[in-house]
Structure 1
Amino acid sequence: MRYCSFCVLLVFLAVNMMALVSITYAQESDIRIQGLEDNQDLADWVDEAALLKFEEREETVTSRFAGIEPQVEKALKSKGYYEPKVAFDNIAEPVVKIQTGPQYTIGSLRIQGDNRNLEDVEKGDILDAAAILTAQEKLKNEISKETCYYSLTVKNQVVLNKTRNTGDVTIIVEKGDIASFGPTTFKGAPSIKTSYLENFIKYEQGACWDVTKIEKTKNALISTGLLSVVNETLPETPYSDGTVPVIFDLKERSPRTIRLGASYYTDEGPGIVVGWQHRNLFGAGEELDTNLRANFLEQSISADFEKPFFGSPDQTLNIDAEISHLDSDAYEEYKVSSSVNLEKDLTDNLSGSLGGGIELSRIQDKTDFSERTFGLFSIPASLHYDNRDDPLNPKNGWTWGVETTPYLDALGESSPFWKTTLSATTYFGFGEEKNTVLALRGRLGTINGAETDDIPASKRFYAGGGGSIRGFGFQEAGPKDEDDNPTGGRSLLETSTELRFKITDTIGAVGFVDAGGVSDAQYPDFQEGLYVGTGVGLRYYTGFGPIRFDVATPVNRREEAEQPVYFYISIGQAF
């Protein structure tokens, strides 16, 4: 056991060192800078702004460094050094020799065409190009917010005084006519209803002209997934009444998609998912998603329908139906189910849903050999928050969710019960590129209103498996009967800690620890202790998300695991 843990730790540290070497290599060039030993900040700037691009070249040694002196001079001038002397030598090693000369300051500063003042830049400051451009853009944004100019140009002119080592800066503001938004027309998307497209317009007719809202509208239209191209056509000048008609030229993408996915878990065997999706069923962004899933434990066919802007712009209607079969060590179930729910966006990151469901199931409980038929009515409600930077491969942000569902058995086989789960994940990215990520997950569940034996086996809590506690098989991390069959429970606790780091742009590695389990009590008591699993994994990053390969083993309670090592292969991060 100690030898196994040592090997896992050794592999984890070795891969982490490879990642750190990769990150360091990517941030520094191998071209030595001579002459800036007393100004490390400037040396770092020259390396970042000028030299790294030559590091990435794949030409011959002779042509690789062609044009390096002008690029270094450009980087120095942007920091106020307008009289630099730069020489490049590549005899023994690539060396850039720099004499900066004097650093120029701002001699005078004025704005032509507007009576505002320039913020964050003043006379006597270093003649820093980035600082001036930032202040210039800030001025343009201020003018745009307060006025309705159809065209607005803000540029700068700098006159150098080499005697005083100063630069006289003039910000030139050129304003066009006052304008407002006119009517909007969509062309080139005959199968998409205009009334649906109008939901994504980020301005109102007659409102003050703001060109940034045109870009926001284009981005919103592209985000529907129904369009491949969105371009705007605008007149050169506003109409005589000051309005600007907007024409969006659109090109539709195919609304249908066929998907094929595969997975392999040691406890579930090979799995396959075949899906067909239509993203514009009736012309207003209605989505129909059908899926066929199958592995050694579970087989199902499902259909999900989604109607956006149902009743209001922030509401979505969801209708789903499923036929499924699951055969595990705990129970065998044949089920037909359907549900309807209304989802509402409460803020940009927070959403809630409320609905109703019905399911008819035939369950053989393998712990007591009973076979019962249940007809469950449910009223599911949920609240979810999500501010992750990327749902497929998050590096920052967090999520939390509350799901609660009361159940009533119309056939009388089960007493009424109430099932509630709380879940949360968070992600911490480290480094400039956030190539190292600490990911944490927690899930807590409870069932009220009935004893465990009176709850349908498929509605009890179970733990263990690739989406739960890795290192233990499907439903293994919990109480069992005398024949070693999982009995499930009324409460659940799951936790995961995972450290993810990239080795290259497409290859990554992880180390993780999962812990938790199921209790027969209404709230987790873990009188028999927690189940803990640990492991390592590889990630292959693609355009549609990472492909995951994990290897896990139990840390404790090894005698309760069917196998000493479990493998998990699928698409997407573990959480």
Structure 2
Amino acid sequence: AKGFSIGFGKELSEYIRGNIVYNFEHVEVLDVLDTAPQFIRDQQGKRLSSSLSPSLIRDTRDSLIDPTRGSRNAIYTTFAGIGGDNYFIKALLDSGWYIPLVWDTTLGLRGRVGYASGFAGKELPVYERFYVGGIDTVRGLGFGEAGPRGAAGEKIGGTKKVIFNTEFIFPIVKDLRLKGVAFFDAGRAYDKNEQIKIQDLRPTTGLGIRWISPLGLIRVEWGYNLSRKPDEDQSRWEFAIGAAF
């Protein structure tokens, strides 16, 4: 993929910020399996996207890297169809809360709900679909494992998603800014013909270590799959640099 983005933002109040970003992207979809759904096979080749993405964020956290109190609530939207080949809309609600507990521990709660759809006779591009599974969505599952599959078992993503994360964060070595985390995640992506049902969410649990380093937050986390399917791993180790929420 090739392209560029240009954006503007404005502080609307002490805690609220509005942003708008223009994206131009040239994507080539290659090596599509013959067993893939027809709507994915139809997208093979080069496609252009021209889109606007406005967002509104309210952030009261006491730290961007290592928050212990406050919340971050955001609405993200994307409208593609300002020229180009793709016509779609996306919307995401994202709410994260940090609650201080005893002995410098913190309870972290996060919920995300997303919806996307093509319009004007166009399907949602396969690379714009929601893929749930991995360190930033549902830990212990691989990329896209918590979601729709094609006829050959390939992960095709969804047009809707629901994700919940719960974390208990505790100090390990305070002077080194080293912390531990115990978590429970649940989430899934759904195709447009699927009804969202809470009982269908894929649950996982696990433990992790976080170091607030000079380079930022470094995360090493182990997730255990509580609803393992035959082609999935029972557990996964994952590594990331950057904020958890």
Q: Tell me the TM-score normalised to structure 1 length.
A: 0.39
Task: Determine the C-alpha separation between the residues in 1 that align with 2:165 and 2:68.
Answer: 16
Report the number of matched residues. 236
Query: Is 2:129 aligned against 1:460?
Result: yes
Pair 545,373 (structure 1): closer, same or farther in 2 beyond 3 Å: closer
Deviation at 1:556, TM superposition (A): 0.8
| 1:432-491 deviation per Cα after TM superposition (whole angstroms, max 9, x unaligned) | xx6201001111100134499821110111110111111100121101012111111110
1:420 paired residue number: 91
Deviation at 1:535, TM superposition (A): 0.6
Q: Tell me the TM-score normalised to structure 2 length.
A: 0.87
Task: Determine the C-alpha separation between the residues in 1 that align with 2:20 and 2:237.
Answer: 37
Task: Determine the C-alpha separation between the residues in 1 that align with 2:212 and 2:54.
Answer: 35
2:46 paired residue number: 373
> Of residues 374, 391, 396 in structure 1, which corresponds to 2:69?
396
2:7 paired residue number: 341
Pair 451,499 (structure 1): closer, same or farther in 2 beyond 3 Å: farther
Q: Give the match's secondary structure for 2:173.
A: coil
8 Å contact kept, 2:228–2:234? no
| 1:476-526 deviation per Cα after TM superposition (whole angstroms, max 9, x unaligned) | 110101211111111011110010111321332211011111001278614
Query: Is 2:200 aligned against 1:529?
Result: yes
Deviation at 1:527, TM superposition (A): 8.6
Task: Determine the C-alpha separation between the residues in 2 that align with 1:527 and 1:388.
Answer: 29
| 1:285-336 deviation per Cα after TM superposition (whole angstroms, max 9, x unaligned) | xxxxxxxxxxxxxxxxxxxxxxxxxxxxxxxxxxxxxxxxxxxxxxxxxx11
1:386 paired residue number: 59
Give, as a single letter, the amino acid of the residue that structure 2 aligns with 1:501.
Answer: F
Give, as a single letter, the amino acid of the residue that structure 1 aligns with 2:80.
Answer: Y
> Of residues 225, 230, 236 in structure 2, which corresponds to 1:559?
230
2:101 paired residue number: 430
> Of residues 101, 108, 124 in structure 2, which corresponds to 1:439?
108
Q: Equivalences for 1:56-67 in 2 at 5 Å?
A: none
Give, as a single letter, the amino acid of the residue that structure 2 aligns with 1:340.
Answer: I
- By percentage of residues, which structure has more helix? 1
8 Å contact kept, 1:452–1:520? no
Task: Determine the C-alpha separation between the residues in 1 that align with 2:155 and 2:198.
Answer: 17
8 Å contact kept, 1:340–1:357? yes
Q: Equivalences for 1:47-446 in 2 at 5 Å?
A: 335-364=1-30, 365-366=32-33, 367-368=36-37, 369-370=41-42, 371-408=44-81, 410=83, 412=85, 414=86, 416-431=87-102, 435-446=104-115
Identity across matched positions, percent: 28
2:238 paired residue number: 568
Higher relative CO (CA 8 A, sep ≥ 6), structure 1 or 2? 2
Pair 397,345 (structure 1): closer, same or farther in 2 beyond 3 Å: same
- By percentage of residues, which structure has more strand? 2
Deviation at 1:411, TM superposition (A): 5.1
**CA RMSD after TM alignment:** 2.4
8 Å contact kept, 1:490–1:522? no
Pair 360,483 (structure 1): closer, same or farther in 2 beyond 3 Å: same
Deviation at 1:356, TM superposition (A): 2.2
Give, as a single letter, the amino acid of the residue that structure 2 aligns with 1:356.
Answer: Y
Task: Determine the C-alpha separation between the residues in 1 that align with 2:64 and 2:198.
Answer: 36
Task: Determine the C-alpha separation between the residues in 1 that align with 2:66 and 2:198.
Answer: 36
Query: Is 2:138 aligned against 1:469?
Result: yes
Deviation at 1:542, TM superposition (A): 3.2
Gaps of 5+ in 1: 1-334
- Higher Cα radius of gyration: 1
Query: Is 2:209 aligned against 1:538?
Result: yes
Task: Determine the C-alpha separation between the residues in 2 that align with 1:533 and 1:403.
Answer: 26
Task: Determine the C-alpha separation between the residues in 2 that align with 1:430 and 1:528.
Answer: 30
8 Å contact kept, 1:404–1:420? yes
Q: Give the match's secondary structure for 1:476.
A: coil
1:518 paired residue number: 189
8 Å contact kept, 1:493–1:518? yes
Pair 545,340 (structure 1): closer, same or farther in 2 beyond 3 Å: closer
Deviation at 1:558, TM superposition (A): 3.3
Q: Give the match's secondary structure for 1:548.
A: strand
Deviation at 1:568, TM superposition (A): 1.3
Give, as a single letter, the amino acid of the residue that structure 1 aligns with 2:77.
Answer: T
Task: Determine the C-alpha separation between the residues in 2 that align with 1:523 and 1:439.
Answer: 30
8 Å contact kept, 1:491–1:522? no
Gaps of 5+ in 2: none
